[in-house]
């Protein structure tokens, strides 16, 4: 205010700012900027971390089904349970009947099989918890991947060693694109590289030529390949 | 009509004068979308300038700014919590016993049928693990030929309608079928009076099973009354058949070889029975791929423009009541007689139309066809039969067969007879099944009150509608996707109704209810199977085959070509002339609505929001008047009119429709519902109130009064998404086309571009061609798109704010004279521009191009800036202003297509070329290790189109059809001058008006009429790449 301008004038002896003012200001500014950057970096880092992607998360199932026992121990073909994995979009979650094909009455008496018994009695499905969960705006086709020679383990990890199934890969869009941009290292043409198939049903893997794979990259990275 | 001058004088301000002046300023071939656009008023310009009008406005019932701020704090706090829950804990629910045919993620198709007015249309229902998600036409069915109309496609939504009757109600309280059996059925079945006090009311039926059950019931209860309720009973057609041939035969048309169609007040391609088939065949005569091809000519005389009328080459506006008079004159002209001198009764314009029609008909003997609306009086039908007989058309384009509807033409179909029965018939027990007579009958009959006065009443229906409210029992009816049944198509072909899902709400079918009355076991499938075991499908494999195909082979009724009764023609001419007194006052015409028909589909939100093909009105009805009549009354669209007719009156808004007959008002049934249906309730005005029982279609003596001071804001879409007068729809007459086949050439080909061209050379290149010559604007594609792509419904208020979400709209353009315009329709969808203007302006790369030529919209990237829509010259992008899908009920969610993302608020969306179908087909081909076959990918709009106006495919692997159309000389790109290089191309509309009557050449003219002799197959040029440019324009 004009009338108080004289009062507000600075002391001619003491400087308005201390000698360290600039240094303090700068360090505060740097700290704020660093915090902001660190905050963003932390958020982005968190989003990519297993905490956010649920990679390795402990997902307890109603029945403690062990892929280790079935795949490594009993050498069951993946497609005995996931029967449409080489033909359709979905791999297929086995109906309760598939379990009791092998697990006869003796097995079923066990307490662990209580949900299976209940499902058979009531006709209500077993409520498995989803482990590998893609967002609803992602349309993933199992058959297209399997028939091109993408191994089950490439995305699901070595389920044969998992006593309790967990999400082995981050399943982030970057992770998908790493392969879609350069699929060659992940394609193992020939049936031999696929999981064992004692069922007498060969894996319908068709090898692409290096040229056809290179030509496919533009298509593979188009948004509508996965998002519709 | 020649009233324009008088009108101008009386019209205080003379709106039509303004239109004439506005027209004079424009070029002759210009199209305009609405009267406001033609006048180019400042208000209209202001409305257009804002692409998203009223964007600051939120609906009245929505939050205020204040409550929004109050909740903002809480939301921020909750958002923090919400962010921690990263991945939803989803459950996987496998089958206990997986049926072999159900694979999660894989759609299966089952044949079924739907009846409208008792007549079946074959459908294929798409099912995802037992959940029907889409209905398409059954190519094996004669009434469908692969196409499906708006009713059939939208009926899916009604299966999941949350307003459906859930379980039984007795006087408003819950009840069970067992209670109904003991308390209602058992006393009725124990009757000793031979059924004299028992009355059944059901819809018109062609079902062999229901007819057999009714016969058994009649054996049991000889005195029982059976009434078939149908507000649109084709009484005139049946009576005409009876008078002409002694038995009530109906005409059966074959349009495949019809070069000249003369249609009077007949919506043969839009709403008449068999309309999908007729539209397919009529379009087949108008493809015009080469200028040398031949083309049919359609003459139409109608009071209000219809879907059929939009395709007409010579269209006469005339009052509906004048049709018999015109036919008498046409008969005289065709026969070369002047018996009764009907010529004196037609004015100059009508005489001209009749002369042109007669000349064409005579030139195309045996290849012409005259048809008249089903509800026209009997003498009109006899005259039509006489004209067709004289022209040698009978046996070629038209033949006759009895109606497939039980007791068609008898008194049991007359609503007045029902009123009489209920009043004086001594009925004590009434069972109404599948119809709503308390609403859908002439108001003066007061059927609702009469039903309420009967002691024992039960109503079976999908909804707690007006009749259910008047009845003691309300029983849930099974949707046709929930129960077994059978029905006949218009030609008699038996069509099986196969359910895809167990009844959601304990619904039963009419056949099951009839069986309950017989005291038998109402097992739905068993009933149909047992009936057909004795009726021609004894063999299990024959039955399986019929169920799989949806039709029972060779069950069509044979046609006959009887001679006209000797005195019929004379009697009809006399009756027509007798009825042709000079018109008294104004005329009122009662019509079924293109969206909700007679009220059966009132609660269907897809249909409520489907713009009328001509007026583009959604969510309601309005009294249609011509511009001249509106000017005389001093009203504009939205002004209220009081219509008084036969002692009753109704107040409803006016809508001005160019091409409507003067001094005639068209009103549409199916609105103003008062039942328990929440979508339908209070939408539009009930004109049944006004409808006298003795006026089947139209009547004179209407008085109309402008109710000053009252206005409604009609939810009309016609000016939304305007093209700002840019030439999007092109057209020419056949003569112009032949003189200058390359008239569309300047609208295609390469344009200079600042952008580096992208080589679209990898794999498939998707493109679409839409033939405007055969598009009739029926809007089947709009509903198909809505069902396939999970397009939400926004409601009337949002439509008024230009926020409708249809990815595909059908633009309707008028051209020429305001009173008597030509009409062009153009389906407008994302053009998938190779140089897409939307893509350059998106700040977050949410809309990008795929290497196979799709303009992709990535919902999860979109932040809702709406820049893309702003920059889109075609105005085909839609923005989710609200989370329309969040409000859906539990069952409505089941209707969603699982292959398409359901978008949320703040996201832009648009046509994707049905990318989910493309990718699915590509991936299936890849998995099977084969190449994608041409024509393997069919978009939803293309699939539903009755006229096959839409062709889709890959330019690098095209079908012959796509190849031919890409090579067509009338192909063009909409707004080509902008250099967007759209992948959707159009074929300019070709019309075939009759040469000037004053021209001397009757014989030369005959040659100009379509298909005189050779239909040139030379136009097919297989193997040839699309013309010079190699790429779409």
Express each pLDDT in A129-153 by its tens digit: 999 989 889 999 999 898 888 888 8
Q: Is the ipTM of this complex over 0.95?
A: no
With 90 as the cut, is the pLDDT of residue B20 above it?
no
Residue A173 to chain B, least CA–CA distance (Å) = 12
Contacts of A54 in chain B (CB under 8 A): 86-87
Contacts of A224 in chain B (CB under 8 A): 850, 854, 856, 912, 915, 919
Contacts of B860 in chain A (CB under 8 A): 135, 137, 227
Q: How sure is the predictor about A209, in pLDDT bands with cuts at 50, 70 and 90? A: low
Show Cβ contacts of residue B288 under 8 Å, excluding neighbours closer than 6 positions: B295, B734, B737, B773, B970, B990
Candidates B51, B115, B52, B157; CA nearest to B786 is B157
Measured between CB atoms, does B25 come within 8 Å of chain A?
no
Averaged over B577-589, what is the pLDDT?
A: 81
Q: How sure is the predictor about B929, in pLDDT bands with cuts at 50, 70 and 90? A: confident
pLDDT (tens digit per residue) in B484-497:
999 999 999 999 99
Candidates B641, B788, B598, B805; CA nearest to B717 is B805
CB contact under 8 A, B96 and A94: no
Distance CA B255, CA B271 (A): 16
Q: Calculate what percentage of chain B has a pLDDT beyond 90.
A: 64
pLDDT (tens digit per residue) in B265-308:
999 999 999 999 999 999 999 998 888 889 999 999 999 999 99
Nearest to A222 among B850, B901, B929 (CB): B850
With 90 as the cut, is the pLDDT of residue B813 above it?
no
* Closest A-chain CA to B762: A215
Candidates B817, B712, B574, B600; CA nearest to B20 is B817
Say what the pLDDT of residue A15 is: 80
Measured between CB atoms, does B850 come within 8 Å of chain A?
yes
Measured between CB atoms, does B915 come within 8 Å of chain A?
yes
pLDDT (tens digit per residue) in B947-983:
999 999 999 999 999 999 999 999 999 999 888 999 9
With 60 as the cut, is the pLDDT of residue B1009 above it?
no
SS3 state at A159: helix
Say what the pLDDT of residue B459 is: 95
CB contact under 8 A, B90 and A129: yes
Residue B929 to chain A, least CA–CA distance (Å) = 7
Q: Between the CA atoms of B66, B67, B72 and B74, what dihedral angle is there, to the nearest 10 degrees?
A: 140
Q: Pick the residue with more confidence: A104 or A113?
A: A113
Q: How sure is the predictor about B1000, in pLDDT bands with cuts at 50, 70 and 90? A: very low
Say what the pLDDT of residue B72 is: 61
CB contact under 8 A, A130 and B104: no
| A89, B105 Cβ separation under 8 angstroms | yes
CA angle B977, B982, B983 (to 5 degrees): 150
Q: Is the pTM of this model over 0.90?
A: no
Show Cβ contacts of residue A79 under 8 Å, excluding neighbours closer than 6 positions: A85, A86, A197, A199, A201
Residue A31 to chain B, least CA–CA distance (Å) = 24
Candidates B502, B504, B541; CA nearest to B525 is B502
Tell me the torsion sign for CA atoms B895, B899, B905, B907.
negative
Say what the pLDDT of residue B663 is: 92
* Closest A-chain CA to B765: A219
Least confident of A67-76, B52-61, B450-459: B52-61
SS3 state at B514: helix
* Closest B-chain CA to A59: B89
Q: Could you tell me where the DSSP H helices lie in B364-403?
A: 378-390
CB contact under 8 A, A215 and B762: yes
* Closest A-chain CA to B855: A224
Measured between CB atoms, does B103 come within 8 Å of chain A?
yes
Measured between CB atoms, does B98 come within 8 Å of chain A?
yes
Residue B769's H or E segment, with its range, is strand B766-771
Say what the pLDDT of residue B827 is: 94
Q: Dig out the tokens for B138 from the structure.
A: 């059954």
Residue A33 to chain B, least CA–CA distance (Å) = 23
Show Cβ contacts of residue B211 under 8 Å, excluding neighbours closer than 6 positions: B205, B406
Number of Cβ pairs closer than 8 Å across A and B? 126
**How would you classify residue B177: left for phi > 0, otherwise alpha for psi between -120 and 50, otherwise beta?**
alpha
Measured between CB atoms, does B83 come within 8 Å of chain A?
no
Q: What does the DSSP assignment read for B117-147?
A: TTEEEEEEEEEETTEEEEEEE-TTSTTTTT-
| B288, B295 Cβ separation under 8 angstroms | yes
**Number of Cβ within a 10 Å radius of residue B395:** 15
Show Cβ contacts of residue B630 under 8 Å, excluding neighbours closer than 6 positions: B15, B636, B637, B654, B656
Say what the pLDDT of residue A199 is: 67
Residue B184: Cβ-neighbour burial (10 angstroms; 0-12, 13-18, 19+):
buried
Contacts of B901 in chain A (CB under 8 A): 136-137, 227-228
Show Cβ contacts of residue B551 under 8 Å, excluding neighbours closer than 6 positions: B111, B122, B138, B140, B141, B142, B493, B494, B495, B496
Say what the pLDDT of residue B175 is: 93
Measured between CB atoms, does B843 come within 8 Å of chain A?
no
Candidates B136, B116, B117, B114; CA nearest to B126 is B136
Q: Could you tell me which residues are beta bridge partners of residue B119?
A: B116
Q: Name the pairing type of β-strands B494-497 and B485-488.
A: antiparallel
Contacts of B96 in chain A (CB under 8 A): 95-97, 119-120, 123-125
| HSE-CB for B1011 with a 13 A CA cutoff | 25
CB contact under 8 A, B94 and A223: no
Residue A215 to chain B, least CA–CA distance (Å) = 8
* Closest A-chain CA to B98: A95
* Closest A-chain CA to B915: A228
Least confident of B336-340, B537-541, B877-881: B336-340
Distance CA B231, CA B447 (A): 13
Contacts of A86 in chain B (CB under 8 A): 927
CB contact under 8 A, B926 and A225: no
Which residue in B90, B96, B911 has the most chain A C-beta atoms within 10 A of its own C-beta, making it the best mutation to test that interface?
Answer: B96
Contacts of B89 in chain A (CB under 8 A): 129-130
CB contact under 8 A, A222 and B856: yes
Long-range contacts of A128-131 (CB under 8 A, 24+ apart): A128/A61, A128/A62, A128/A93, A128/B91, A128/B92, A128/B93, A128/B94, A129/A59, A129/A60, A129/A61, A129/A62, A129/B89, A129/B90, A129/B91, A129/B92, A130/A59, A130/B89, A130/B90, A130/B91, A130/B92, A131/A59, A131/A165, A131/A166, A131/A167
pLDDT (tens digit per residue) in B703-726:
999 998 889 999 988 765 555 556
């Amino acid at each position: 205010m004009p009338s108080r301008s004289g009062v507000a004038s600075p002391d001619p002896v003491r400087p308005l700012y201390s000698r360290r003012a600039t240094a303090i200001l700068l360090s505060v500014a740097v700290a704020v900027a660093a915090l902001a950057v660190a905050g963003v970096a932390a958020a982005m880092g968190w989003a990519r971390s297993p905490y956010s992607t649920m990679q390795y998360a402990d997902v307890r199932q109603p029945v403690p089904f062990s892929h280790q026992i079935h795949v490594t121990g009993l050498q069951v073909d993946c497609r005995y349970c996931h029967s449409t994995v080489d033909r359709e979009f979905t791999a297929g979650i086995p109906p309760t009947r598939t379990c009791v094909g092998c697990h006869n009455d003796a097995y079923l008496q066990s307490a662990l099989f209580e949900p299976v018994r209940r499902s058979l009695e009531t006709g209500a499905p077993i409520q498995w918890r989803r482990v590998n969960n893609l967002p609803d705006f992602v349309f993933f086709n199992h058959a297209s991947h399997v028939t091109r020679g993408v191994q089950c383990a490439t995305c699901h990890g070595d389920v044969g060693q998992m006593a309790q199934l967990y999400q082995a890969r981050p399943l982030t869009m970057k992770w998908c694109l790493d392969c879609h941009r350069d699929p060659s290292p992940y394609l193992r043409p020939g049936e031999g590289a696929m999981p064992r198939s004692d069922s007498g049903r060969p894996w319908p893997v068709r090898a692409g030529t290096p040229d056809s794979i290179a030509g496919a990259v533009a298509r593979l990275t188009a948004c509508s390949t996965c998002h519709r | 009509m020649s009233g324009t001058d008088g009108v101008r004088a009386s019209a205080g301000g003379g709106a039509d004068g303004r239109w004439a002046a506005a027209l004079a300023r424009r070029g002759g071939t210009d199209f305009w979308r609405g009267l406001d656009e033609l006048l180019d008023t400042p208000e209209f310009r202001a409305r257009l300038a804002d692409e998203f009008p009223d964007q600051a406005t939120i609906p009245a019932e929505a939050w205020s700014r204040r409550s929004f701020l109050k909740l903002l704090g809480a939301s921020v706090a909750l958002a923090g919590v919400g962010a921690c829950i990263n991945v939803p804990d989803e459950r996987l629910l496998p089958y206990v016993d997986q049926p072999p045919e159900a694979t999660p993620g894989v759609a299966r198709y089952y044949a079924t049928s739907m009846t409208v007015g008792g007549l079946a249309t074959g459908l294929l229902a798409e099912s995802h693990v037992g959940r029907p998600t889409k209905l398409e036409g059954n190519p094996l069915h004669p009434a469908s030929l692969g196409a499906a109309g708006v009713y059939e496609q939208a009926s899916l939504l009604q299966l999941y309608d949350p307003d459906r009757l859930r379980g039984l109600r007795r006087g408003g309280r819950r009840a069970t079928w067992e209670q109904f059996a003991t308390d209602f059925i058992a006393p009725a079945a124990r009757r000793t009076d031979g059924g004299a006090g028992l009355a059944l009311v059901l819809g018109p039926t062609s079902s062999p099973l229901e007819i057999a059950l009714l016969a058994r019931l009649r054996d049991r209860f000889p005195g029982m009354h059976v009434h078939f309720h149908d507000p649109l009973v084709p009484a005139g057609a049946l009576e005409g058949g009876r008078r002409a041939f002694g038995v009530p035969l109906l005409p059966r048309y074959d349009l495949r070889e019809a070069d000249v169609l003369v249609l009077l007040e007949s919506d043969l391609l839009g709403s008449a029975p068999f309309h999908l088939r007729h539209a397919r065949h009529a379009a087949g005569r108008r493809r015009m791929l080469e200028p040398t091809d031949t083309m049919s000519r359609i003459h139409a005389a109608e009071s209000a423009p219809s879907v059929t009328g939009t395709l007409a080459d010579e269209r006469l506006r005339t009052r509906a009541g004048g049709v018999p008079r015109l036919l008498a004159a046409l008969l005289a002209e065709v026969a070369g007689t002047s018996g009764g001198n009907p010529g004196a009764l037609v004015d100059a314009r009508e005489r001209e139309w009749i002369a042109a029609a007669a000349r064409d008909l005579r030139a195309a003997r045996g290849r012409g066809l005259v048809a008249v609306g089903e509800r026209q009086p009997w003498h009109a039908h006899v005259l039509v039969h006489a004209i067709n007989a004289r022209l040698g058309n009978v046996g070629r384009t038209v033949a006759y067969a009895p109606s497939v509807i039980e007791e068609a033409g008898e008194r049991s179909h007359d609503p007045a007879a029902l009123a009489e029965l209920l009043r004086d018939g001594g009925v004590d027990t009434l069972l109404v099944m599948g119809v709503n007579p308390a609403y859908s009958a002439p108001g003066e009959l007061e059927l609702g009150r009469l039903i309420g006065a009967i002691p024992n009443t039960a109503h079976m229906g999908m909804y707690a509608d007006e009749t259910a409210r008047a009845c003691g029992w309300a029983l849930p009816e099974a949707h046709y996707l929930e129960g077994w049944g059978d029905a006949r198509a218009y030609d008699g072909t038996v069509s099986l109704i196969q359910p895809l899902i167990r009844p959601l709400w304990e619904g039963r079918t009419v056949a099951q209810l009839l069986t309950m009355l017989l005291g038998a076991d109402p097992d739905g499938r068993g009933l149909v199977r047992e009936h057909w075991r004795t009726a021609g499908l004894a063999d299990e494999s024959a039955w399986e085959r019929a169920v799989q195909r949806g039709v029972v082979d060779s069950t069509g009724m044979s046609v006959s070509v009887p001679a006209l009764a000797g005195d019929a023609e004379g009697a009809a001419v006399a009756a027509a002339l007798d009825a042709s007194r000079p018109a008294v006052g104004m005329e009122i015409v009662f019509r079924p609505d293109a969206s909700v028909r007679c009220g059966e589909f009132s609660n269907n939100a897809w249909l409520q929001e489907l713009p009328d093909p001509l007026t583009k009105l959604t969510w309601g009805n309005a009294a249609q008047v011509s511009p001249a009549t509106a000017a005389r009354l001093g009203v504009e669209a939205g002004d209220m009119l009081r219509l008084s007719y036969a002692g009753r009156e109704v107040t409803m808004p006016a809508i001005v429709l160019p091409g409507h007959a003067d001094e005639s008002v068209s009103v549409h049934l199916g609105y103003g519902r008062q039942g328990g249906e929440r979508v339908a309730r209070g939408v539009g005005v009930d004109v049944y109130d006004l409808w006298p029982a003795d006026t089947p279609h139209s009547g004179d003596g209407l008085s109309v009064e402008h109710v000053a001071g009252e206005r409604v804001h009609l939810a009309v879409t016609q000016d939304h998404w305007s093209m700002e007068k840019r030439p999007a729809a092109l057209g020419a007459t056949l003569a112009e086309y032949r003189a200058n086949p390359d008239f569309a050439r300047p609208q295609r080909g390469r344009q200079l571009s600042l952008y580096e061209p992208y080589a679209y050379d990898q794999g498939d290149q998707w493109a679409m061609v839409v033939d405007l010559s055969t598009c009739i604007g029926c809007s089947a594609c709009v509903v198909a798109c809505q069902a396939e792509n999970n397009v939400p419904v926004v409601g009337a208020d949002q439509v008024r704010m230009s926020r409708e979400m249809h990815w595909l709209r059908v633009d309707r353009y008028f051209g020429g004279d305001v009173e008597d315009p030509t009409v062009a329709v153009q389906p407008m969808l994302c053009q998938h521009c190779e140089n897409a203007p939307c893509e350059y302006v998106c700040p977050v790369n949410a809309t990008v191009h795929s290497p196979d030529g799709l303009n992709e919209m990535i919902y999860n990237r979109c932040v809702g800036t709406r820049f893309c829509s702003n920059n889109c010259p075609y105005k085909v992008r839609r923005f989710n202003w609200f989370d329309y899908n969040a409000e859906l009920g539990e069952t409505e969610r089941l209707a969603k297509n699982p292959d398409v993302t359901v978008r949320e608020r703040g996201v832009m969306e648009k046509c994707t070329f049905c990318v989910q179908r493309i990718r699915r087909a590509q991936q299936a081909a890849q998995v099977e290790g084969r190449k994608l076959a041409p024509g393997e990918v069919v978009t939803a709009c293309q699939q539903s189109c009755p006229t096959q106006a839409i062709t889709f495919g890959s330019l690098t692997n095209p079908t012959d059809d796509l190849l031919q159309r890409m090579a067509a000389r009338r192909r063009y790109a909409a707004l080509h001058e902008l250099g967007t290089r759209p992948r959707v191309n159009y074929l300019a509309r070709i019309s075939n008006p009759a040469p000037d009557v004053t021209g001397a050449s009757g014989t030369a003219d005959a040659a100009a009429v379509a298909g005189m002799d050779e239909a040139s197959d030379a136009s097919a040029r297989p193997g040839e790449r699309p013309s010079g440019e190699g790429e779409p324009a």
